[in-house]
Amino acid sequence: MNITKGGVCAAKGFKASGVYAGVKDNPTGKFDLALVASDIPADTAAVFTKNKVKAAPVLVSIDNLKKTGGIINAVILNSKNANACVHDGIETAKAMCKATAEKLKIDTEKVLVCSTGVIGQSLPIDKITAAVPTLIGKLSENGNADAATAIMTTDTFKKEYAVEFTLDGKACRIGGMAKGSGMIAPNMATTLNVITSDVKISPDLLRTALSDVTEKTYNCLYIDGDMSTNDTIILMANGLAANKFIDSVNADYESFKNALFEVMKNLTIMLAKDGEGASKLLTANVTGAPSFEVGKTVAKSIIGSDLLKCAMFGEDANWGRILCAIGYAPADIEISPIEVSLASKRGEIAVCKNGEGLNFSEETAADILSEYEIEINVNLHQGSESATAWGCDLTYDYVKINGDYRS
Amino acid sequence: MNITKGGVCAAKGFKASGVYAGVKDNPTGKFDLALVASDIPADTAAVFTKNKVKAAPVLVSIDNLKKTGGIINAVILNSKNANACVHDGIETAKAMCKATAEKLKIDTEKVLVCSTGVIGQSLPIDKITAAVPTLIGKLSENGNADAATAIMTTDTFKKEYAVEFTLDGKACRIGGMAKGSGMIAPNMATTLNVITSDVKISPDLLRTALSDVTEKTYNCLYIDGDMSTNDTIILMANGLAANKFIDSVNADYESFKNALFEVMKNLTIMLAKDGEGASKLLTANVTGAPSFEVGKTVAKSIIGSDLLKCAMFGEDANWGRILCAIGYAPADIEISPIEVSLASKRGEIAVCKNGEGLNFSEETAADILSEYEIEINVNLHQGSESATAWGCDLTYDYVKINGDYRS
């Protein structure tokens, strides 16, 4: 498996584009409307927010997947406005699908729709539908960067990742794009994500793979504990790689799933790095867990502690906060065997053993924590499973960004 | 019922004191050791942290309550060091009880112990035991302020509250002290709290009242989602008011419980006001709930949203974040009937009805949010129960305080 270029356009038969439709207030010309389309209908799996307040595009996409049996051609996405909690939400979300479908000459239901941004303001649908012809006109095999840029909100960089691998001698690809960077939460940390592949795989296995990999990637991401109304992951597979059809859990399926994990893991890490106001990437590695679930619960409890996030921002090896967060994780664990160390590329330092503090050099610890990427390594010593969660520190800039978001 | 002075010394037969023992690093002379004592053994109920990492003083206090059947004379408390996750924790916690008991000429088990501060550093027990004689020498009916001061960590003001009321013609009192101000969490928001009363009440009803009132006060407080290793509430009742013994759920019991609620609610609000870095007190009032539990879950989800806390700091009426937090609250509710308004002493403004945004004046909203005390009023319109939760905004100062706590 190799990293490759092209994001959502890396896979055969996928094109993308991005334009400025005028949803973003300031006439900066920053793109705010994106399209990803497959040359042929693609089997499509998706995961949506578990928030009871679901934005209109989420409801419309769920409906369209049901109506088409998961056979989808395109996804249209806008940023700056979430199209959530407004009286005309469903109407405008459907209008986005319709405008796209008419121009692409496909059924309206074969288009999915995603929105991200402020909640509670009506979408300027006329601006969007007026921009659709240009958006479609720009569709290209090199349009991935434009699309990835158009879905950015408070993101500071676009997020794309793609890999190439072979299945029975055929070159296959999986590529994706994602946007952050706040309202990213423990129970369904997704935000907007579109992933495309040219692999030929059964719809059932596509869904299983997406669900399994989501559990170990996006669902292990924690920025601020707020679960969005719009979170969506869409995975499209159009089969154009012409590999031997994957219809059972065989070696090819494992290769596909590994490649999907690689893409989604790297997008997850990008989301963590670009968490609102983040100055450090935090990775919590929990080993010696009785199960993946327990390891994940502990890792996310650590990465979700505001107090620890502040300590990491301050480069303070305040490991008591790690143990405290382990202690209130909703998991059945023993505290007495636990070991904790802090690491970065400058080294690793043990700070806690048998659930108790160790004498350590504060100077060495501060040196290790001065790095941008910090690892919090916890060995529970009560099993052989492991889990990793990703997050970032809590900084002045998080407060600044979110104290003044709408304006 | 009237507010009265005296904090933990308001009730008859209770004395308190505070001294500088030298646990706090800098020789500023800031008190760090406190004592609350009853002239006669008092029936005592307590609630402790649910964190699996329990500090040594929590374990020792639980044990002493068991050994004495809840008959306690005194509570010794230190700040600056949590006596948690250290090899000699139990030993030093017991030594604190022993030194106090010897000097007071009572059984060691009749002393409870609380600590608060940094996790993972051994307590300088010699300094503490050396200070105990002075601490006991200073015990006085006016020592409440010294005691309340001595338990402060990052608190910016001492927290005391007391009320006076009558039961069958006898004057009775309940008074308490508390400390914050970070690591205050959804499942057991207690921190350290000592509450004293001279009411004569059965131990069982004392426990029931403490448990019920905790549920509606401290457990409705949310600062940062971090549940401490040391959280403790101790409620002592020595019976010196000589009221008719309360041994059933009668009118006297209700009066006692109302008074206890008044004390604990006001301490809770003080804790919220003094949340680390807080610049605003936030109160979430949820009405129209199908049950108190659902109302509380929704109120705490709102008050716990980092994004909303930042918006309130920025005085931005970003009500979508309120609806978002309602939507991910783990409660079975309908979104479509929900109404939301924002209020302060400058007025009230409706921002959401039927789960959708209303047109409102941003200017009026900003004016309302410019106040120090903000109320977020939510009517779920799906029942007749209500609940209130208290919290504070998320500010630059929270990050500053917690980025550099240990030094």
Cα distance from A209 to chain B (closest Cα, Å)? 26
Contact with chain B for residue A87, Cβ under 8 A: yes
Average pLDDT, chain A: 92
Whether residue A46 contacts residue A56, with contact meaning beta carbons closer than 8 Å, is answered with: no
Q: pLDDT tens-digit profile of A20-53?
A: 999 987 767 799 999 999 999 999 999 998 888 8
Lowest-confidence region among A319-328, B205-214, B370-379: A319-328
Q: How far apart are CA B179 and CA B148, in angstroms?
A: 8
Neighbour count for residue B348 (Cβ, 10 Å): 13
Instruction: Decide if A92 contacts A132 (C-beta within 8 A).
Output: no
SS3 at position B179: strand
Lookup result for tokens 């783990």: B330
Q: Is the pLDDT of residue A196 over 50?
A: yes
Structural domain boundaries of chain B? 2-271, 281-403
Report the amino acid identity of residue B89. Answer: G
Determine what percent of chain B is predicted with pLDDT higher than 70.
95
Report pLDDT for A194.
96
Q: Which class does domain A281-403 fall in?
A: alpha beta
The answer as to CATH 3.40.50.2300 being correct for domain A2-273 is: no
**What's the pLDDT tens digit per position in A219-257?**
888 776 667 888 899 999 999 999 999 999 999 999 999
**Tokens at A13, concatenated:** 């038969």
Instruction: Reply yes or no on whether the pLDDT at B10 is more than 80.
Output: yes
Q: What is the pLDDT of residue A52?
A: 86
Task: Output b/e per residue, A349-374; b: 16+ Cβ within 10 A.
Answer: bebbeebbbeebeeeebeebbebeeb
Task: Give the confidence band of B27 by pLDDT, cuts at 50, 70, 90.
Answer: low
Which band of pLDDT confidence, cut at 50, 70 and 90, is reported for residue A281? very high
Q: Strands, E, within A79-220: which ranges?
A: 111-115, 159-167, 170-179, 192-197
Query: Which residue of chain A has the CA closest to B315?
Result: A403
- Alpha-carbon span B129 to B168, nearest angstrom: 43
**What DSSP designation does A243 have?**
P
Nearest to B399 among A224, A321, A399 (CB): A399
Q: Length of chain B, please? A: 407
Out of A119, A316, A405, the one facing B324 most closely (by C-beta) is A119
Query: What SS3 class is residue A258?
Result: helix
Q: Which of B68, B116, B190, B283 is catalytic?
A: B190
**What average pLDDT does range A6-16 have in this prediction?**
98
Does A227 contact B320 at a Cβ distance shorter than 8 Å? no
Provide the 10 A C-beta neighbour count for residue A401: 18
Long-range contacts of A245-249 (CB under 8 A, 24+ apart): A245/A200, A245/A201, A245/A202, A246/A167, A246/A199, A246/A200, A246/A201, A246/A202, A246/A205, A247/A201, A247/A202, A247/A205, A248/A205, A249/A205
Mean pLDDT of B61-90: 95
Query: Is residue B294 within 8 angstroms of chain A, CB to CB?
Result: no
Contact in structure between A42 and A73 (CB atoms under 8 Å): yes
What pLDDT band is residue B232 in, cutting at 50, 70 and 90? very high
Handedness of CA B47, A355, A352, A217 (dihedral sign): negative
Chain B residues touching residue A304 (CB < 8 angstroms): 225
Global pTM reads: 0.84
Rg (CA), chain A: 22
**What was the pLDDT predicted at A406?**
55
CB atoms within 10 A of CB B403: 21
Which pLDDT value is given to residue B119? Answer: 85
Q: Do B324 and A406 touch (CB under 8 A)?
A: no
Region A355-366: mean pLDDT is 93
pLDDT-wise least confident of A51-55, B40-44, B93-97, B267-271 = A51-55
* 3-state secondary structure (DSSP) of residue A82: coil
B11: Cα separation from own chain's centroid: 19
- Taking the CA of residue A376 and the nearest CA in chain B, the distance in Å comes to 17
Can you tell me the distance from the alpha carbon of A344 to that of A315, in angstroms, rounded to the nearest whole number? Answer: 12
- Kindly indicate the confidence band of residue A399, based on its pLDDT and cuts at 50, 70 and 90: confident
Chain B interface, best mutation among A90, A121, A190, A324, by max B CB count within 10 A: A324
| Cβ neighbours for B302, distance < 8 A, ≥ 6 positions apart | B284, B286, B308, B322, B325, B326, B329, B376, B378, B389
pLDDT category at A6 given cuts 50, 70, 90 is very high
Size (chain A), residues: 407
Q: How many CB pairs under 8 A join A and B?
A: 205
Contact B306 A396 (CB under 8 A): no
- B2-271 CATH choice from 3.40.47.10, 3.30.420.10, 3.60.70.12, 3.30.390.50: 3.60.70.12
Q: What average pLDDT does this structure show over B258-273?
A: 94
Restricting to A residues 203-262, those with a Cβ less than 8 Å away from any Cβ of B are 224-229
Measured between alpha carbons, how far is A277 from A291 in angstroms, rounded to an integer?
33
Q: Does B55 score more than 70 pLDDT?
A: yes
Q: Is the peptide bond before A181 cis (omega within 30 degrees of 0)?
A: yes
Q: From the CB of residue B339, how many other CB atoms can be counted at a distance below 10 Å?
A: 18
The one-letter code for the residue type at A221 is L
Q: How far is CA A52 from the centre of its chain?
A: 20
Q: Is B51 on the interface with A (CB under 8 A)?
A: yes
Out of B54, B86, B327, whose CB is closest to A357?
B86
Residue pLDDT, tens place only, B99-144: 999 999 999 999 999 999 888 889 999 999 999 999 999 999 999 9
> Is the CB of A35 inside 8 Å of chain B's CB atoms?
no
Yes or no: say if B317 and B365 are a contact pair by the CB < 8 Å rule. yes
User: Computed over its alpha carbons, how large is the radius of gyration of chain B?
Assistant: 22
- Dihedral over alpha carbons A112, A113, A114, A117 (to 10 degrees): 180
Reduce the secondary structure of B89-140 to three states and give it as a string.
HHHHHHHHHHHHHHHHCCCHHHEEEEEECECCCCCCHHHHHHHHHHHHHCCE
Asked whether residue B258 carries a pLDDT value surpassing 60, the answer given is yes
**Count of other CB atoms within 10 angstroms of residue B345:** 11
The answer to whether the Cβ–Cβ distance between B310 and A402 falls below 8 Å is yes
Can you give the pLDDT at residue B189? Answer: 37
Q: Give per-residue pLDDT as tens, B280-339.
A: 999 999 999 999 999 999 999 999 888 899 899 999 998 988 998 998 898 999 999 999
Is B395 one of the annotated active-site residues of the chain?
no
* pLDDT exceeds cutoff 50 at A137: yes
- C-alpha A68, offset from chain centre: 25
B307 or B342, which is more confident: B342
Q: What is the pLDDT of residue B185?
A: 46
The pLDDT score that the predictor gives to residue A269 is 92
**Across A64-83, average pLDDT:** 96
Catalytic annotation, pick one of A92, A149, A190, A395:
A190
Residue A190 pLDDT greater than 50, yes or no: no
B53 contact A CB<8A: yes
